[in-house]
Amino acid sequence: MIKAVVFDLDDTLISEKEYIKSGFKVISQKISKEYNLDNQYVYRLLIDLFNENAKNVFNRLLDKLNIKYNDEYIKELIHEYRGHMPQISLYEDAKNILEYLYNTDLKLGIITDGYAITQRNKLEVLGIEKNFDYVVVTDEIGREYWKPHRKPYDIVKEQLGLEYEEMVYVGDNITKDFVTANKLGMTTVFISREEGVYFNVQKEDEYKAKYNISNLKELVKVLNLNKTWGEI
């Protein structure tokens, strides 16, 4: 019997691209003010550079703007980006399913990778942590314990006081969300979002979730333990 639902955060409950855009707005404002540039131009350039390639965006931006810089300035920009209070919101289907789950007897958890200050700021802005029985920000227990390490799953299991077979894990990243959860005996659910960073990634069967859904409201079918439920 399912007694808990544990969620990933980025691209599961919120849009990672929405967070990125929020951070880019902060960075474009900073650079525009310091170098007397048009803010909207710098922001648009950041977005375009990111869409071309997600690596070294700040370096490439400064190169494009002919701004001389050193490693310390890049670190300053990264620190500002990771530490900003984001303008983000829950996906609509995430809001709907969470409101539904809050009114059930199911326990709720979160396991999220990412820099601790970044993930904590996201949770603070969303104001949802109070509705969860336990939240694991893996960076707070050590970078080496980011998913797919089993430790965050063990922590949630212990804190919720359940067996793995009584828990559902919902995520979006096929490269790390499900491979350990599958081995531990959790019911795994992949939320497929076309805008998601890992939407088109392919992996071996052991990395795949047991169920695929395109809207979190479809979780109800999993939670009802419908034995005939197939692909949606």
pLDDT (mean) for 36-41 = 98
Domains of the chain: 4-15+89-223 (3.40.50.1000), 17-83 (1.10.150)
What pLDDT, on a 0 to 100 scale, did the predictor assign at position 200? Answer: 72
pLDDT at 41 over 60: yes
Cα separation, 122 vs 88, in Å, equals 8
pLDDT surpassing 90 at residue 203:
no
Q: Name the residue with higher pLDDT: 111 or 231.
A: 111
Of the chain, the percentage scoring pLDDT greater than 90 comes to 87
List, for residues 129-145, the tens digit of each pLDDT value. 999 999 999 999 999 99
Q: What mean pLDDT is predicted for residues 189-214?
A: 83
pLDDT of residue 164: 98
Closest CA to 116 of 82, 151, 159: 82
Q: Which residues are CB-neighbours of 135 under 8 A, at least 6 positions away?
A: 109, 110, 112, 123, 129
pLDDT classification of 197: cutoffs 50, 70, 90: low
pLDDT band at 116 (very low <50, low <70, confident <90, very high): very high
Q: What pLDDT score does 196 carry?
A: 64
- b/e string for 167-191 if b means 16 or more Cβ within 10 A? bbbbbbbbebbbbbbbebebbbbbb
- Helix (H), strand (E) counts: the chain: 9, 6
Q: What is the mean pLDDT of residues 113-120?
A: 98
- Per-residue model confidence (pLDDT) at position 226: 44
How confident is the model at residue 64, as a pLDDT?
Answer: 97
Burial 100-109 (b: 16+ CB within 10 A, else e): ebeeeebbbb
pLDDT digits (tens, 9 = 90+) for 89-115: 999 999 999 999 998 999 999 999 999
For residue 127, count CB atoms less than 10 angstroms from its CB and return exposed for 0-12, middle for 13-18, buried for 19 or more.
exposed
pLDDT at residue 48 is higher than 50: yes
**pLDDT band with cut points at 50, 70 and 90 for residue 199:** low
Residue with tokens 């399913």: 97
Most confident of 171-180, 192-201, 203-212: 171-180
In this prediction the pTM is 0.91
Mean pLDDT, range 31-60, rounded to an integer = 97
Sign of the alpha-carbon torsion through 74, 76, 82, 87: negative
Based on its alpha-carbon atoms, the radius of gyration of the chain, rounded to whole angstroms, reads: 19
